[in-house]
């Protein structure tokens, strides 16, 4: 059986590798794969070498029997040591012997790396950067699974059961990735499971016959195909995730999110966290506070998107002068905000617009600076973790009339140049801007038209956290063409269009003010992360505009830029004449999807609280599907057998049921002996008239089988009474077994594998060519 062990080991390792491909959507790059490959290879090599050595030991006649058992246990221990070696070599070679063998020192380092990894898991959202700590954890995780799969498949001889390990791998992307996880992550674990099933069957066949029989892999392939199809269908249809459909799911994200240090990427990361993180507690002096700004992005690049060019660290917030006073003509509203930091940890401090003073209770007050150009409060070498601070600000509250009176800035002023700077853009953008702003008499009107174009769903724009992949290579052009995106794209696009129209604009990042709690404060979570646009008006300063069609309960009222309400979509025409190319019809098409996305429809109230529920339901449905598939195959088999023209079908079904229930039926048994054994099992399990009826049914089936198989031709014609007898017999058998056995028989019918064995045993050459 050594060769069978080698084959199963290799197949188990292959299955683990295939299963680990499910992790691909979790990471932004493929850098996670080499260490995983190394650790799986190490486990495989360790298993092969150790098992070979153990076989040598046990084969010598002097070896006591216990050696075999001990060596079986020692193999996984050796494999775990190899996993530790690989981890040491890859992540903590310092202090290790030859950079490979772990020492106390290197293990301490490794533990540090793991601690980093857990922190990285908390900080990053998927797709995550393959940082060292995360890689180490991933390698450890896959390594342990590889040992487990190897142990179950090779030593436990239950290759199919090892598929549970692959299910664990598969749960990682399902649980963490928002949107589609890609065909590879769906198909690879399914293929791995098929490989395991095949290994299981090869072993079963190998044990029952010396010869190799081609074509024996048929059932495994069939089960694999069913599993794969079930995976693809469930992955697509189950409403696990906001974007979980074929329409957007399989493409992956087309956005060029950069590193986690990039504020824009961090924004998306926060929005797609599976569970919202409580970041801040806001106690505001006004009932309807505005946005909490963290930072503004001032530089646009067609390839990289919006980014922060520079921060001026000269002004400390400890200074007495007002930080960002608004011009006197601007209508303002004083706001005092007390912010308690919960889980927020960033170098940008979220503050209301136009802060005048920020008082931090923490120790590093001096470390906080104010950049006037972007209105950003930031820490030079400190972060917001654990702070409580009070901000006094004057939020801009301009009336539309006031804004309408504002005139364009003169060319050549520093602010005008810096905040209207654009790289060379795709011609279609200038064309769109010209079309939108044609006839606009004031900067305000131009801005309003641009905003109305983007925020009116009649134009086909849909809120979506996973953007469809574009083909133009320019994300802005893709967004304006595909009209799918989230706040970052909306705000970025509007800012570009406003700049294109000649007005200073920047993209502000921060938070909507969150939900009011029972104690009157507002709780701001990662779901409240947001991006919007600020436009500079001469004499009025920076004024926020929000083009993103977010949920009604998150909207910040901006009286100068009312957004078309969701109810008004169908009846009321846009307030401003907006050229629209999108007809109404497609809108209907996208509507259901929009409803499903948490923040697209105003009707969806507490969508965020429904997400875990949907996730749980989806996982349950997927698990139920996987669990039910053997039973479904078995039911198909039963129907086919009952349709057989003679009595052999019901008999096959009866023996298969017995095998499912753990009643072993040896191929060398005659029908009478089988009937005796089953009758004994039935009467032992329970007495009474029903048992007697079942026993009689079993014997009747055996007689029918005898007549059909060994009697004169024509004597075994189908008897309609056999179906009833089979039902009675099955009921008796099932009822005689304890309930755990019944559950196992339902979920994991052993006869599916044994069936292949029996089929093989029925071949004449195996009957005649066997050695006992």
Give me the residues that bind another protein (CB under 8 A), please: 648, 666-670, 672-673, 703, 706-707, 709-713, 715, 761-762, 764, 767-768, 770-772
- If the CB atoms of residues 445 and 719 are measured against another protein, the closer one turns out to be 719
- If the CB atoms of residues 161 and 693 are measured against another protein, the closer one turns out to be 693
Cα 735 from Cα 725, distance rounded (Å): 15
- If the CB atoms of residues 493 and 665 are measured against another protein, the closer one turns out to be 665
Q: How far is the CB of 649 from another protein (least distance, A)?
A: 12
304 contacts 243 by C-beta, under 8 angstroms:
no
**For 359, how many CA atoms within 13 A lie in the half-sphere containing its CB?**
6
The burial class, CB within 10 Å (0-12 / 13-18 / 19+), for 40 is: buried
The burial class, CB within 10 Å (0-12 / 13-18 / 19+), for 4 is: middle
Cα 657 from Cα 638, distance rounded (Å): 9
CB atoms within 10 A of CB 281: 19
Q: How far is the CB of 4 from another protein (least distance, A)?
A: 20
Q: How far is the CB of 710 from another protein (least distance, A)?
A: 5
The burial class, CB within 10 Å (0-12 / 13-18 / 19+), for 510 is: buried
Q: Quote the tokens at residue 437.
A: 């702003």
- If the CB atoms of residues 713 and 740 are measured against another protein, the closer one turns out to be 713
Q: Quote the tokens at residue 522.
A: 């507002």
Annotate 288-321 with b (16+ C-beta within 10 A) or e (fewer). Answer: ebbbbbbbbbbbbebeebbebeebeeeeebeeee
- If the CB atoms of residues 65 and 771 are measured against another protein, the closer one turns out to be 771
Only one residue has tokens 């009339």, namely 401
- If the CB atoms of residues 173 and 671 are measured against another protein, the closer one turns out to be 671
Q: Quote the tokens at residue 479.
A: 């967004």
Cα 574 from Cα 580, distance rounded (Å): 10
Q: How far is the CB of 711 from another protein (least distance, A)?
A: 5
CB atoms within 10 A of CB 356: 18
- If the CB atoms of residues 364 and 710 are measured against another protein, the closer one turns out to be 710
Only one residue has tokens 């950049």, namely 371
- If the CB atoms of residues 222 and 762 are measured against another protein, the closer one turns out to be 762
Cα 386 from Cα 398, distance rounded (Å): 35
Cα of first residue to Cα of last residue in the chain, in angstroms, is 16
Q: How far is the CB of 68 from another protein (least distance, A)?
A: 23
Q: How far is the CB of 51 from another protein (least distance, A)?
A: 27
The burial class, CB within 10 Å (0-12 / 13-18 / 19+), for 500 is: buried
Q: How far is the CB of 753 from another protein (least distance, A)?
A: 17
- If the CB atoms of residues 714 and 740 are measured against another protein, the closer one turns out to be 714
Q: How far is the CB of 690 from another protein (least distance, A)?
A: 22
- If the CB atoms of residues 103 and 709 are measured against another protein, the closer one turns out to be 709
Q: What are phi and psi of 306, to 5 degrees?
A: -80, 140
Q: How far is the CB of 666 from another protein (least distance, A)?
A: 7
Q: How far is the CB of 133 from another protein (least distance, A)?
A: 57
C-alpha gyration radius of the chain? 34
| Helices and strands (H, E) in the chain, number of each type | 26, 19
Cα 615 from Cα 608, distance rounded (Å): 11
Cα 20 from Cα 15, distance rounded (Å): 8
- If the CB atoms of residues 209 and 324 are measured against another protein, the closer one turns out to be 209
- If the CB atoms of residues 129 and 708 are measured against another protein, the closer one turns out to be 708
- If the CB atoms of residues 67 and 761 are measured against another protein, the closer one turns out to be 761
Q: How far is the CB of 203 from another protein (least distance, A)?
A: 19
**Run of H or E including 368:** strand 368-371
Only one residue has tokens 């002068």, namely 321
Cα 157 from Cα 146, distance rounded (Å): 15
- If the CB atoms of residues 418 and 703 are measured against another protein, the closer one turns out to be 703
Q: How far is the CB of 705 from another protein (least distance, A)?
A: 8
Q: How far is the CB of 667 from another protein (least distance, A)?
A: 4
DSSP string, 380-438: SS---TT-EEEEEEEEE---HHHHHT--PPPTT-HHHHHHH------HHHHHHHHHHHT
- If the CB atoms of residues 207 and 301 are measured against another protein, the closer one turns out to be 207
CB atoms within 10 A of CB 58: 18
- If the CB atoms of residues 222 and 765 are measured against another protein, the closer one turns out to be 765
Cα 430 from Cα 532, distance rounded (Å): 21
Cα 362 from Cα 380, distance rounded (Å): 15
Q: How far is the CB of 671 from another protein (least distance, A)?
A: 8
Q: How far is the CB of 769 from another protein (least distance, A)?
A: 8
- If the CB atoms of residues 588 and 712 are measured against another protein, the closer one turns out to be 712
Q: How far is the CB of 37 from another protein (least distance, A)?
A: 44
Q: How far is the CB of 767 from another protein (least distance, A)?
A: 5
134 contacts 124 by C-beta, under 8 angstroms:
yes
CA dist 610 to 56, 174, 604, Å?
58, 16, 10
**Run of H or E including 152:** none
């Amino acid at each position: 059986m050594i060769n069978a062990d080698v084959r199963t080991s290799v197949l188990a390792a292959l299955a683990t590798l295939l299963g680990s491909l499910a992790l691909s959507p979790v990471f932004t790059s493929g850098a996670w794969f080499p260490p995983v490959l190394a650790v799986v290879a190490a486990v495989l090599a360790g298993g092969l070498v150790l098992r070979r050595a153990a076989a040598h030991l046990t084969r010598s006649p002097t070896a006591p029997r216990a050696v075999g058992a001990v060596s079986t246990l020692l193999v996984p221990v050796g494999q775990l040591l190899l996993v530790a070696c690989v981890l040491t070599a890859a992540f903590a070679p310092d202090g290790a012997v030859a950079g490979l063998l772990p020492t106390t020192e290197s293990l301490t380092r490794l533990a540090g790396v793991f601690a980093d990894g857990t922190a990285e898991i908390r900080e990053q959202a998927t797709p995550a950067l393959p940082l060292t700590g995360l890689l180490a954890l991933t390698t450890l995780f896959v390594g342990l699974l590889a040992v487990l799969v190897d142990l179950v498949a090779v030593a436990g001889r239950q290759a199919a059961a090892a598929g549970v390990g692959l299910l664990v791998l598969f749960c990682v992307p399902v649980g963490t990735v928002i949107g589609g996880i890609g065909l590879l992550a769906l198909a690879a674990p399914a293929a791995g499971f098929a490989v395991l099933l095949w290994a299981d069957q090869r072993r079963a066949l190998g044990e029952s016959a010396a010869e190799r029989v081609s074509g024996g892999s048929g059932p495994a392939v069939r089960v694999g195909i069913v599993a794969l199809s079930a995976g693809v269908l469930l992955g697509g249809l189950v409403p696990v995730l906001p974007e979980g459909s074929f329409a957007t799911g399989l493409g992956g994200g087309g956005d060029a999110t950069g590193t986690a240090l990039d504020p824009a990427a961090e924004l998306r990361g926060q929005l797609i966290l599976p569970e919202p993180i409580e970041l801040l507690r806001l106690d505001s002096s006004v009932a309807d506070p505005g946005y909490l700004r963290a930072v503004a992005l001032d530089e646009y690049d067609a390839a990289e998107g919006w980014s922060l060019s520079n921060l001026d660290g000269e002004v400390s917030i400890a200074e007495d002068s007002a930080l960002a006073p608004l011009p006197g003509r601007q209508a303002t509203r004083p706001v005092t905000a007390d912010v308690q930091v919960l889980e927020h940890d960033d170098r940008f401090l979220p503050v209301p617009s136009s802060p005048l003073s920020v008082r931090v209770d923490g120790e590093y007050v001096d470390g906080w600076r104010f950049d006037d150009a972007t209105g950003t409060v930031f820490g030079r070498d400190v972060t917001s973790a654990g702070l409580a601070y009070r901000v006094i600000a004057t939020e801009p509250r301009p009336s539309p009339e006031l804004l309408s009176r504002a005139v364009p800035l003169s060319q050549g002023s520093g602010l005008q140049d810096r905040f209207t700077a654009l790289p060379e853009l795709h011609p279609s953008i200038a064309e769109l801007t010209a079309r939108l702003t044609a006839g606009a008499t004031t900067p305000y009107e131009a801005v309003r038209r641009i905003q109305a174009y983007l925020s009116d769903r009649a134009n086909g724009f849909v809120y979506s956290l996973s953007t469809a992949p574009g083909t133009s290579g320019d994300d802005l052009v893709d967004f304006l063409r595909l009209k799918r995106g989230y706040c970052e794209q909306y705000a970025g696009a509007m800012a570009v269009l406003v700049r294109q129209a000649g007005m200073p604009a920047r993209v502000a990042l921060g938070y909507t003010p969150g939900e009011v709690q029972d104690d009157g404060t507002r709780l701001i979570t990662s779901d409240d992360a947001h991006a919007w646009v600020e436009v500079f008006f001469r004499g009025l300063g920076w004024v926020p505009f929000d083009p993103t069609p977010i949920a009604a309960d998150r909207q910040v009222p901006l009286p100068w830029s009312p957004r078309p309400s969701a109810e008004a979509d169908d009846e009321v025409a846009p307030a401003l004449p907006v050229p629209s190319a999108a007809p109404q019809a497609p809108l209907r098409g996208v509507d259901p999807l929009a409803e499903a996305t948490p923040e697209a429809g105003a009707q969806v109230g507490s969508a965020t609280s429904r997400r875990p529920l949907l996730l749980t339901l989806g996982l349950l449905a997927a698990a139920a599907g996987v669990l039910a598939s053997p039973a479904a195959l078995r039911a198909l088999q039963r129907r086919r057998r009952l349709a057989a023209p003679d009595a052999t079908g019901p008999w096959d079904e009866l023996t298969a049921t017995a095998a499912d229930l753990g009643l072993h039926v040896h191929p060398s048994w005659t029908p009478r002996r089988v009937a005796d054994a089953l009758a004994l099992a039935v009467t032992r399990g329970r007495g009474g008239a029903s048992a007697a009826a079942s026993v009689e049914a079993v014997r009747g089936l055996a007689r029918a089988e005898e007549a059909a198989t060994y009697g004169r031709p024509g004597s075994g014609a189908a008897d309609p009474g056999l179906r009833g007898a089979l039902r009675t017999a099955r009921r008796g058998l099932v009822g005689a077994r304890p309930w755990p056995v019944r559950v196992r028989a339902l979920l994991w019918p052993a006869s599916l594998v044994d069936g292949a064995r029996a089929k093989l045993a029925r071949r004449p050459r195996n009957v005649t060519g066997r050695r006992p």
